């Protein structure tokens, strides 16, 4: 079995470096890791970068208690920034990632050529499901069409049989991002298979019932009441009081505010696994993120917060104004169905 894991690590690493990042001769590929990272995977990534003609830079840092800005005091920030402002590629593979921290923000501010990908503590099985089994141009075509439809709308409504019924307005000043597995150009990259939307500030209202929420036992289904873009109440038979304490401990009103909404369309992900990065991209589901939002996504200032957390709702129905594109987790719009069929049969 261990031999198979080594083969899987090698396969995923090769796809990342050669097909997705398209590493060129002499490019510097930084990989950040901590004590919670899979050391064999880190070495496989470095080896694949070298085999593709790149120069790997594998940096081990202490495991922070929390990701993002909350982890800053535990990392050698000045040294990391000095390196990351000069590399071509950065793979953030720590178990507590630097995403949305000052290190991350400053690297993007200073390094205009940076190609970044956050992997976090995803297992090799999860990476296989997220990064393999599809053609990049085919996924790109579907995601671009969904993004085009979103940007033509004024309002998004999301419902689910679990009780979710929430809506928000579109702001065309914000970034409408997709990830299709093409990391060959400067970008803030995450695992492929989604369209990301930053709702218009103050516009989200309704109820979100999470099938899984970061930091919460997946059996504890929690409900957020959203008013004017902020969480006004958390409900649930178990875990609601603890989550309220978790939010209150930040002493930051922006931790209650919606950050982004991702529409999940990864063809390899069809059930909740408990691995957040994977679950966020579940086919026919959505992810809601709260707290910190980069100025890259929400120009000109972003939404500063002490941290960021996400939750997922599966099998949703999505309406763009009065036009339905998802029906209980199934892509149903006639302009999208041929693109879906092409993706799932190739």
Is the whole-model pTM more than 0.75? yes
pLDDT at residue number 70: 87
Q: What is the pLDDT of residues 163-189, one digit of tens each?
A: 999 999 999 999 999 999 999 999 999
Res. 1: pLDDT tops 60? no
Where on the phi/psi map is residue 200: left (φ > 0), alpha (ψ -120 to 50), or beta? beta
> What is the residue-averaged pLDDT of the chain?
95
Say if strands 258-264 and 194-197 run parallel, antiparallel, or are unpaired: antiparallel
Domains of the chain, first to last: 2-130 (3.40.1830.10), 135-177+191-344 (no CATH)
What are 149's two structure tokens?
């439809």
Place 215 in a pLDDT band, splitting at 50, 70 and 90.
confident
Stretch among 5-9, 27-31, 151-155 having the lowest mean pLDDT = 5-9
Cβ within 8 Å of residue 102, ≥6 positions away: 69, 72, 77
275-332 pLDDT per residue, tens: 989 999 999 999 999 999 989 899 999 999 988 999 999 999 999 999 999 999 999 9
Asked if pLDDT for residue 219 goes beyond 80, the answer is no
Task: Using alpha carbons, list the distances in angstroms from residue 272 to 126, 144, 183, 240, 262.
Answer: 11, 25, 26, 21, 16
Averaged pLDDT for residues 28-55: 97
Question: Cβ atoms within 10 A of the Cβ of 306, count?
Answer: 17
pLDDT at 69 over 80: yes
Average pLDDT of the segment spanning 252-263? 98
Q: What are 103-161's pLDDT values in tens digits?
A: 999 999 999 999 999 999 999 999 999 999 999 999 999 999 999 999 999 999 999 99
Residues in the chain, how many?
346
**Where is pLDDT greater, at 245 or 70?**
245
Question: pLDDT class for 345, splitting at 50, 70, 90?
Answer: confident
More confident residue, 238 or 325: 325
Query: Under a CB-based contact definition with an 8 Å cutoff, are residues 258 and 287 in contact?
Result: no
Beta carbons within 8 Å of 162's beta carbon, 6+ residues apart: 209, 211, 221, 313
Alpha-carbon distance of 319 to 273, in angstroms, equals 26
Query: With bands split at pLDDT 50, 70 and 90, how would you rate the model's confidence at 64?
Result: very high
Cβ-contact 209, 163 below 8 angstroms? yes
pLDDT-based confidence at 4, cuts 50/70/90? low
Provide the pLDDT confidence category of residue 2 given band limits of 50, 70 and 90: very low
């Amino acid at each position: 079995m261990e031999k198979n894991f080594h083969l899987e690590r090698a396969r995923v690493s090769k796809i990342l470096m050669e097909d997705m990042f398209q590493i060129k001769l002499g490019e510097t590929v930084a990989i950040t890791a901590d004590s919670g990272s899979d050391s064999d995977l880190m070495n496989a990534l470095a080896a694949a970068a070298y085999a593709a003609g790149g120069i790997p830079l594998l940096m081990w840092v202490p495991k922070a208690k929390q990701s993002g800005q909350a982890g800053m005091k535990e990392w050698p920030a000045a040294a990391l920034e000095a390196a990351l402002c000069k590399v071509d590629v950065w793979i953030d593979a720590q178990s507590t990632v630097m995403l949305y921290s000052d290190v991350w923000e400053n690297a993007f501010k200073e390094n205009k050529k940076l190609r970044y990908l956050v992997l976090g503590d995803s297992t090799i099985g999860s990476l296989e499901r997220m990064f393999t089994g599809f053609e990049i141009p085919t996924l790109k075509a579907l995601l671009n069409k969904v993004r085009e439809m979103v940007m033509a709308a004024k309002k998004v409504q999301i419902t689910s049989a679990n009780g979710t019924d929430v809506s928000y307005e579109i702001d065309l000043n914000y970034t409408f991002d997709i990830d299709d597995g093409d990391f060959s150009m400067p970008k803030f990259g995450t695992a492929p298979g989604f369209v990301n939307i930053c709702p218009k500030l103050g516009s989200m209202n309704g109820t979100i019932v999470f099938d899984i929420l970061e930091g919460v036992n997946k059996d504890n289904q929690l409900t957020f009441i959203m008013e004017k873009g902020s969480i006004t109440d958390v409900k649930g038979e178990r875990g609601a009081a603890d989550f309220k304490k978790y939010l209150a401990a930040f002493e930051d009103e922006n931790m209650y505010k919606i950050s982004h909404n991702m529409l999940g369309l990864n063809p390899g992900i069809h059930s909740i696994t408990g691995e957040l990065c994977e679950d966020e991209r579940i086919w026919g589901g959505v992810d809601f993120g709260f707290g910190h939002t980069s100025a890259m996504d929400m120009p000109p200032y972003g939404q500063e917060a002490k941290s960021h957390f996400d939750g997922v709702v599966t099998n949703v129905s999505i309406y763009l104004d009065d036009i339905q594109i998802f029906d209980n987790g199934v892509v149903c719009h006639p302009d999208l169905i041929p693109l879906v069929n092409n993706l799932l049969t190739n």
